[in-house]
């Protein structure tokens, strides 16, 4: 028994593949709420340097190159060195 499939009514719309960079990136914006003053250039620089250094420490910990204790010592020294504004407020607290 031969059964004919119904004809397509219309063609499928074309699909598009994103061509931009989709890699996760940490971003710190200098723009803030109107209720809060914007960061100074110096505060922004300290925040960015701190975040970059912590990412390196995170990678070393995940790779097993440093222990948990060493990781916490490194983060403490980085906090003392860079005195980041946002990271100090948010350290150890989940965002969600």
**Where do the domains of the chain lie?**
41-87
For the record, the structure tokens of 1 come out as 């028994």
Instruction: Supply the pLDDT for residue 38.
Output: 78
Give the confidence band of 64 by pLDDT, cuts at 50, 70, 90: very high
> Across residues 74-88, what is the average pLDDT?
87
Instruction: Supply the pLDDT for residue 55.
Output: 95
Count CA atoms within 13 Å of residue 16 on its CB side: 3
Give the confidence band of 1 by pLDDT, cuts at 50, 70, 90: low
Instruction: Supply the pLDDT for residue 39.
Output: 79
| The residue count for the chain | 96
């Amino acid at each position: 028994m031969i059964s004919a499939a119904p004809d397509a009514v219309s063609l499928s719309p074309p699909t598009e593949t994103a061509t931009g960079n989709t890699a996760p990136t940490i971003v710190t914006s200098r723009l803030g709420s109107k209720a809060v003053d914007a960061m100074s250039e110096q505060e922004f620089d300290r925040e960015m340097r701190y975040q970059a250094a912590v990412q390196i420490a995170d990678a070393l910990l995940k790779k097993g190159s440093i222990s948990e204790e060493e990781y916490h010592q490194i983060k403490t020294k980085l906090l003392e060195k860079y005195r980041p504004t946002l990271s100090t407020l948010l350290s150890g607290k989940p965002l969600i």
